[in-house]
Amino acid sequence: MGMIDITGKKVLLREAVASGRITLLPETIKKIKENQVKKGDPLLVAEIAAMKAAKETYLLIPHCHNIPLNTVELNFSTGDDFIEAKCHVKAEAMTGVEIEALVGVTIALNTIWDMVKYLEKDKNGQYPSTRISDIRVLNKVKKPVSKA
C-alpha cells in the first residue's frame, strides 16, 4: 500500500476542471453582488484560497504526489440563490491533476461559506438552506507537451 509509483511514466500536459455549487439565501447573493460582505469580496478570497489549496493538495490528501502546477484558474457564476465555482488546473506532470482541481473547488466553496455565514444563520444559529453540492470533475485531459 501507499503512493502509486509513477517512476517511468511520461511527463504529459495534464489538465482537469472541477466544479461545485453553494446554495445561499437570495439576500446573501445580493450583498455579495453589492460588495457589502463584512469580510470583503468572497469570490476574490475564494479564488486565492482555491489556488493555495490546489498547490498544497499533496499535504492534505495522503496518497497525492507533490505536483508543481502551471496554473490554477477559478471562475464563478452566480444565480439568484447559488454560486457555481469551476477550478481549472494545469501541469506538466507524470500523474493527473483532478484531485487538485477538486480540492481547489471545494476550498473555494468552503471559503465563500465562511465569509457569509453570519448572513446565512437563522435565529437559532443554524444553516437550514445553505449547502455545498454537485462537486465533480467536469473534464480531465492528458496530451503530449507541445514544444514552443
Q: What is the CATH number of the domain that holds 62?
A: 3.30.70.640
Residue 80 falls inside a structural domain = yes
User: What sign for the dihedral angle of Cα 17, 137, 139, 9?
Assistant: positive
Residue 2 falls inside a structural domain = no
Separation CA 68–CA 59 (nearest Å): 13
pLDDT at 148 over 80: no
Contact between 89 and 13 (Cβ < 8 Å): no
Number of domains in the chain: 1
Active site residue 81: no
pLDDT at 147 over 90: no
Residue 10 falls inside a structural domain = no
Report, as an integer, the average pLDDT of 21-30: 98
Domain that holds residue 47: 18-143
Active-site option among 41, 81, 114, 134: 114
When mean pLDDT is compared across 10-14, 31-35, 72-76, 111-115, the lowest value belongs to 10-14
Nine-digit cell string for 115? 465569509
User: What sign for the dihedral angle of Cα 104, 80, 23, 39?
Assistant: positive
